[in-house]
Amino acid sequence: MLNNKSILITGGTGSFGKMFTSLILERNPDVKKLVILSRDEQKHFQMAQEFPEDKYPAMRYFIGDVRDKDRLIRAMTGVDYVIHAAAMKHVHLAEYNPDECIKTNVGGAQNVVDACLMTQVERVVALSTDKACAPINLYGATKLTSDKLFVAANNIRGNNPIRFSVVRYGNVMGSNGSVIPFFLNKKKEGVLPITDINMTRFNISLQGGVDMVMHALENAWGGEIFIPKIPSYRITDVAEAIAPDCKQEVVGIRPGEKIHEEMITPSDSYHTYDLGKYYTILPATHRWNLVDYINHFNAEMVEKGFSYNSGENTEWETIDTLIDLIKIHVTN
């Protein structure tokens, strides 16, 4: 699908961007152009060592910020597909710096929408988070707003054939700033800080996130929020898997944190369909025929009142499965 296409990834020097880049270059040797847009010049430098332009001539390293619409328009000229991964994502930092989070996660999202509509982009997939579902923190609220902007962008495209969609998933194993690398670093101290012994989270690998984006690029009709069916883990099990000999010290939840995360609320259930591997929340307003959509994907509407919550999940990681997954996705 991506051969002879030009792709741009905002926030492309992050964990997701590097994994997605590796996959594209491996599976699509004839990709026309792969633009990495990031404001972090040091990460650009480091990524260029891993994917040098002399070995991968499709690579382009484009310093830019999603807050700068003019720069986005220049970067997206000639681009076919855009993956929007740029965001401020640390919950407690967003609580302390709300204005900066809003500028990037909301203003930046609108700039991406506008720039895509002003160029010849064909497909746009925005990365979201479980924290955007019934948010209690500023980060989640900004990502919910971002989701709404990308979904609604399909209503203002006129005759432009562009399609916008969103992928929403949980904690990514081993991503920058996530709990597993944090625990791996802290275990040498002999004590692991536990926010709450009842805390749970959804779990997905970077590869799982990349696969979701590919699914959205290939299958979105415009306006969907795609949600994976993934297991949950207990934070205490993660600690036990990483450092069974360490003391677990309860320190209390940080500002804006939930005990359990959600990806679908009971209110969402009235627009949510089961696609098999994924759920999708369909837009209330869409430009395609719902019956055609249901028939095409063999979609089944979930029960009214259905919710998808990490604490009430039917699939769980165990200490043993976590040990194996950490070896595969993080420490190797």
Residues designated as active site:
131
Q: How far apart are CA 202 and CA 169, in angstroms?
A: 8
User: Residue holding tokens 């900004």?
Assistant: 142
In contact, 188 and 195? CB cutoff 8 Å: no
**Cβ-proximal residues to 87 (8 Å cutoff; 6+ apart), any chain:** 11, 104, 105, 108, 127, 143, 146
Apex 163 CA angle, 160 and 168, nearest 5: 155
Q: Tell me the two tokens of residue 141.
A: 């609220």
Determine whether 75 is exposed, middle or buried from the number of CB atoms within 10 Å of its CB (0-12, 13-18, 19+): buried
The kind and range of the H/E element at 150 are: helix 138-152
Phi, psi dihedrals of residue 27, rounded to the nearest 5°? -90, -20
In contact, 133 and 150? CB cutoff 8 Å: no
